Amino acid sequence: MENTHNQRLPNSPEKEIREDDQNIISGARNTDQLEKMKNKAKENPAPTDDRQGTPAVVKVNNGGPDQSQKQTIRKPLSAKGHALMDYALVGSLLLLPHLLGMNKKAKRIYAAEALVLLPYVALSQQPLAIKGLIPFSMHRKIDLFNVGQFALQSLFKPFRRSRKELIFNLSFTAIAGLAVLLTDWNQQPPDSH
């Protein structure tokens, strides 16, 4: 009686395995599981349609040091969603400091920042752009710089000495940072005007 389907997979370095099968093999405990996992991977490949964005790859450990498998997680903000967030953040920099009665220096700083942010948002390659001159990948780099700048700005006198301004600045920094983190930057935005 042959018992080949329940044999443990050898852990020898000499085995020849195709690269795409490596992750399947590392999660299988015996050859029977290996065949099931290979068939499942062939039936349900990860979607890679560029219109929906490029999936992020996350390694998940399911019970041992060599038993990881890949799963995909889509980021919720598209280029259009990110553009909407950017325009809303620029508008909030112009309006909220006045509505909240912030000090004059904070109002001036936020107004100046809004006037700097608006052109690069409007000129980035995204669906709501006025003219797509700045590549979307460059927009990401500028966003990262701006989030860092907003975080450091919390240390300046007009913000750190007033609770209202400090809370607003920290909240704004957190929201802008989340917008960057939740954006699918690998997505190819459609050509803008």
Q: pLDDT digit of tens for each residue in the chain (193 aa)?
A: 444 444 445 554 444 445 545 554 455 556 676 677 677 767 766 555 444 555 555 555 555 555 555 566 788 899 999 999 999 999 999 999 999 999 999 999 999 999 999 999 999 999 999 999 999 999 999 999 999 999 999 999 989 999 999 999 999 999 999 999 999 988 765 554 5
Q: Which residue pairs, CB below 8 angstroms and at least 24 apart, start in 188-193?
A: 188/50, 189/79, 189/80, 189/125, 189/126, 189/127, 189/132, 189/136, 190/79, 190/127, 191/125, 191/132, 192/125, 192/126, 192/127, 192/128, 192/129, 192/130, 192/131, 192/132, 193/129, 193/130, 193/131, 193/132
Q: Which residues pair with 8 in a beta bridge?
A: 30
Residue 61 near residue 67, CB atoms below 8 Å: yes
Residue 69 near residue 61, CB atoms below 8 Å: no
Residue 165 near residue 171, CB atoms below 8 Å: no
| Domain range summary for the chain, segments of one domain joined by + | 9-73, 79-181
Integer CA distances (angstroms), 16 to 13, 21, 34, 145, in order: 8, 10, 15, 46
Query: Pick from 84, 94, 131: which is nearest to 116 by CA?
Result: 94
d(CA 144, CA 163): 25
Question: pLDDT value at position 55?
Answer: 55
Question: pLDDT value at position 146?
Answer: 95
Please report the beta strands in the chain, taking only residues with DSSP state E, as ranges in sequence order. 56-61, 68-73
Question: pLDDT value at position 192?
Answer: 47
d(CA 51, CA 131): 21
